[in-house]
Amino acid sequence: MNKNKIALITGATSGIGMATAKIFAKNNIDLVLCGRRQERLDMLKNELEKEVAVHTLNFDVRNKTAVLEQINSLPPEFLDVDILINNAGNAHGLEPIQDGNLDDWDAMLDINVKGLLYVSKAVIPNMIAKKSGHIINIGSTAGKEVYPNGNVYCASKHAVDAINQGMRIDLNPYNIRIGAVNPGMVETEFSEVRFKGDTAKAAKVYQGFKPLQALDIADIIHFVVTRPYHVNIADLVVMSTAQASSTIVNKN
Ligand code: NDP
Ligand code: 8X3
């Protein structure tokens, strides 16, 4: 009997990560779901373990000790991670650099960059040992161009772009697939987090055009992980049809 692949998804409690978990479950990929909101992890586990084996891990990706301890002490049946979706992340604030908040800067660099590195550090050794594996780094169009007031968020996603390339180079001898999916505007909790719970301000971001939905990105991630093993989608940018760049959106 063929064993299901195992995917570890960070940021599985919301948005792109949650939609990816659901699409993977439908397609017989076992899941290690990570996030900080335990009630959402429990809810997802209840829902998805009707379809596949599911294990949840609760850690803040900023806490390197917790990241390494929790991933290294996964139950044996979940230890052999085949697919890592480095998705946890957010923007915090949208101000010109001179007005930027230091805690927001710390959050973006610690979560989007260092958190991604800590999780990868925990998962990569097993992929090297078995000479196979697939890492998908969720970057952003903000990692391809800088927009007004995006400064540090854009820096964090440019770092993800560089890390994606660096991983692909350094892990090349080990037959590991590395690629990035870089979305434009996706309607998730992203803007609520960016605007610190101001839901009216967040909703405005997606008004007047049809933005990408989490499921659109999850579907693409599923496509990426189901190519034949010799095919590696190295770097993918996806925007809604209404969006031409970070600053050009055809709103009615
Ligand atoms: P959401 O806010 O809906 O989801 C973010 C996820 O990240 C949540 O599951 C959250 O889980 C997790 N997360 C945040 N901080 C931490 C932390 N410190 N430790 C552990 N987990 C954390 O946003 P999206 O789904 O939109 O974002 C997912 C990824 O996609 C991010 O990397 C984002 O930068 C990227 N992206 C988003 C775009 C958009 O327009 N929405 C466009 C381009 C890229 P919890 O709070 O439970 O810990
Ligand atoms: C999220 C999309 O345009 O807010 O990465 O940077 S954007």
In this structure, the residue with its CA closest to atom 48 of ligand 1 is 36
User: Residue 44: its pLDDT value, please?
Assistant: 98
Average pLDDT over residues 238-246: 98
Q: Is 89 in the pocket of ligand 1 (CB under 6 A)?
A: yes
Query: Using an 8 Å Cβ cutoff, are 10 and 58 in contact?
Result: no
Candidate list 147, 153, 174, 206, residue with the active-site label? 153
Rg (CA), the chain: 17
Q: How far is residue 33's CA from residue 12's CA, in Å, rounded to a whole number?
A: 6
- Residue by residue, DSSP assigns 99-110 as G--HHHHHHHII
Mutate which of 20, 64, 87, 137 for ligand 1 pocket (most atoms within 8 A of beta carbon): 87
Task: Name the average pLDDT for the chain.
Answer: 98
Q: What pLDDT shows up at residue 22?
A: 98
Give pLDDT tens digits for 183-197. 999 999 999 999 999
Token digits for 104?
């927001």
Given this model, what pLDDT does residue 218 score? 99
What are the sequence ranges of the domains in the chain?
Answer: 6-238
> Is pLDDT at 200 greater than 80 in this prediction?
yes
Which residue lies with its CA nearest to atom 4 of ligand 2? 185
Q: Is 60 in the pocket of ligand 1 (CB under 6 A)?
A: yes
- Cβ-based neighbour number of residue 77 at 10 Å: 11
| Edge-to-edge strands, sheet with 83-86 | 54-58, 30-35, 6-9, 83-86, 133-138, 176-183, 235-238
Length of the chain: 252
Percent of the chain that is helix, strand, coil (3-state, to 5)? 45, 15, 35
Nearest-atom index, ligand 1, CA of 153:
34
C-alpha–C-alpha distance, residues 22 and 27, integer Å: 9
Instruction: Give the whole-angstrom CA distance, residue 128 versus residue 118.
Output: 16
Please state the rounded mean pLDDT for residues 124-138. Answer: 98
Residue 141 CA: nearest ligand 1 atom is: 43
Please say if 153 is a catalytic residue: yes
pLDDT at 2: 72
Mean pLDDT of 31-44: 98
Is the pTM higher than 0.85? The answer reads yes
Work out the percent of the chain whose per-residue pLDDT is above 90.
99
Is it true that domain 6-238 has CATH number 1.10.10.10? no
Query: Which of 146, 191, 216, 246 best tests ligand 2's pocket when mutated (most atoms within 8 Å of CB)?
Result: 246
Atom of ligand 1 nearest to the CA of 60: 19
Give percent of the chain above pLDDT 70: 100
At 7-22, the pLDDT tens digits run 999 999 999 999 999 9
Non-local (6+) Cβ contacts of 92 within 8 A are: 101, 103, 104, 107, 108, 153, 193, 194, 196
The residue-averaged pLDDT of 113-120 equals 99
Count CB neighbours of 251 within 10 A. Answer: 9
Q: Read off the pLDDT of residues 142-195 as tens digits, 9 standing for 90 and up.
A: 999 999 999 999 999 999 999 999 999 999 999 999 999 999 999 999 999 999
**Per-residue pLDDT averaged across 97-114, rounded?**
98
Is the pLDDT at 80 greater than 70? The verdict is yes
The pLDDT confidence band at residue 1, using thresholds 50, 70 and 90, is low
Q: Is the CB of 112 under 6 A from ligand 2?
A: no
- Rounded average pLDDT over 65-86: 98
Cα(147)–Cα(219) distance, integer angstroms: 27
Q: How many CB atoms lie within 10 A of CB 250?
A: 12
